[in-house]
Amino acid sequence: MTLAFIFPGQGSQAVGMGADLAEAFAAAREVFQEVDDALGQHLSKLMREGPIEDLTLTENTQPALMAVSLAVIRTLEKEFGVGIDKAAFVAGHSLGEYSALAAAGAIGLSDTARLLKLRGQAMQRAVPVGQGAMASLIGPKTDVALAEAAAKEGSSVGVCVVANDNNAGNVVISGAKAAVDKAIEAAKALGTRAIPLNVSAPFHCPLMQPAADEMAEALAAVTIAAPRAPLVANVTARPTLDPEAIRRMLVEQVTGRVRWRESMEWLAAEDGGAVTRFAEAGAGKVLTGMVKRIAPDAEGVALNAPADLEAFAASL
């Protein structure tokens, strides 16, 4: 068995996430306290009690999801003796890439929390509310080629690109609102469903360049070490251990495409990572569902609750 840890991104948040881990394990409580201290806010209380409207604010969602992921990893290490070195690779979806790097020891937990708080704020600042949009193209006909064709139609009136290539049947486009609206109509004409997403900004498109510039400045001041397991990066869908390449790709990721389908295909391929088991560390089961669609021969397991961690550790 070859194992990869994968880390969820925005959309997996829910009020109460991580609460059972904190109740059961001191290691999880320590993670939440360190994140609270780093940010100077009671983020763990917001995660536990809500309201969901505040938790869903990008500047809160990003460090909160990372905190849950790191609570899972620290608990596995300290309570069950399962370290990140059990994994051949790590990967994370968008903000999950920061979780992956923190889990693999490349960036300190406090630094990661502060970076994600800033990332959320910078993304929100980059485009005034209402001027950008994102849409999910869903259906059996949906693939990246169809999404690119729809985005090309939209780009005749403004910025519009493929933002997330999640899996066959699920591709997200992003850009200026008028351009995304036009791309939605084009996608429907091409025979797929197009659902506008309730997001506060058009992530992973060129309109996010001001946020990328902010992140470049912030990341330049942060120590990045070689991760203890290779990171399969969003922007390349290939592994790296090089701290300077990681620093550069975290900046590129703000405006670039999340190449998740390609990343999972490479990880599962015999001439790639040869991964046979994917463990999703953190809130929800979104990535586990994607694994089943992208690599049906591989096993996907979501590590959310104390019983999940206990069963996973026993299975190794």
On whether the CB atoms of residues 31 and 72 are closer than 8 A, the answer is: no
Same domain, 17 and 109: yes
Distance from CA of residue 45 to its chain's centroid? 22
Q: CB within 8 A of 258, min separation 6: which ones?
A: 9, 93, 94, 163, 164, 165, 166, 204, 234
The CA R_g of the chain, rounded to the nearest whole Å, is 18
Same domain, 13 and 77: yes
Q: What's the residue count for the chain?
A: 316
- Of 181, 199, 217, the one marking the end of a domain is 199
Q: Which amino acid is at 115?
A: L
Predicted pLDDT of residue 95: 97
On whether the CB atoms of residues 183 and 279 are closer than 8 A, the answer is: no
Q: Which of 69, 99, 204, 263 is catalytic?
A: 204
Q: φ, ψ for residue 295 (rounded to 5)?
A: -130, 75
Predicted pLDDT of residue 198: 87
- Of 179, 199, 219, the one marking the end of a domain is 199
Q: Return the number of other C-beta atoms located less than 10 Å from residue 24's C-beta.
A: 17
94 is catalytic: yes
The parent domain of residue 237 ranges over 3-126+207-315
Same domain, 162 and 25: no
Same domain, 211 and 302: yes
Q: How far apart are CA 69 and CA 84, in angstroms?
A: 12
Give the number of domains in the chain: 2
Same domain, 234 and 191: no
Q: Which amino acid is at 127?
A: V
Could you say which residues of the chain have pLDDT below 50? none
Q: How far apart are CA 126 and CA 200, in angstroms?
A: 11
Same domain, 13 and 72: yes
204 is catalytic: yes
- Of 146, 168, 199, the one marking the end of a domain is 199
Q: What is the CATH number of the domain that holds 250?
A: 3.40.366.10
Three-state SS letters, the chain: CCEEEEECCCCCCCCCCCHHHHHHCHHHHHHHHHHHHHHCCCHHHHHHHCCHHHHCCHHHHHHHHHHHHHHHHHHHHHHHCCCHHHCCEEEECCCHHHHHHHHCCCCCHHHHHHHHHHHHHHHHHHCCCCCEEEEEEECCCCCHHHHHHHHHHHCCCCCEEEEEEEECCEEEEEEEHHHHHHHHHHHHHCCCEEEECCCCCCCCCHHHHHHHHHHHHHHHCCCCCCCCCCEECCCCCCEECCHHHHHHHHHHHHHCCECHHHHHHHHHCCCCCCCCEEEEECCCCHHHHHHHHHCCCCEEEEECCHHHHHHHHHHC
Same domain, 227 and 188: no
Q: Which of 94, 136, 200, 263 is catalytic?
A: 94
Same domain, 244 and 289: yes
Tokens read off for 103:
């889990």
Same domain, 95 and 155: no
Predicted pLDDT of residue 159: 98
Predicted pLDDT of residue 1: 86
Same domain, 305 and 233: yes
Q: φ, ψ for residue 166 (rounded to 5)?
A: -80, -55
Same domain, 62 and 46: yes
Same domain, 191 and 219: no
Q: What is the CATH number of the domain that holds 182?
A: 3.30.70.250
Q: CB within 8 A of 296, min separation 6: which ones?
A: none
How do strand 3-7 and strand 89-92 relate by DSSP bridges?
A: parallel
How do strand 299-303 and strand 89-92 relate by DSSP bridges?
A: unpaired
Q: How far apart are CA 99 and CA 92, in angstroms?
A: 7
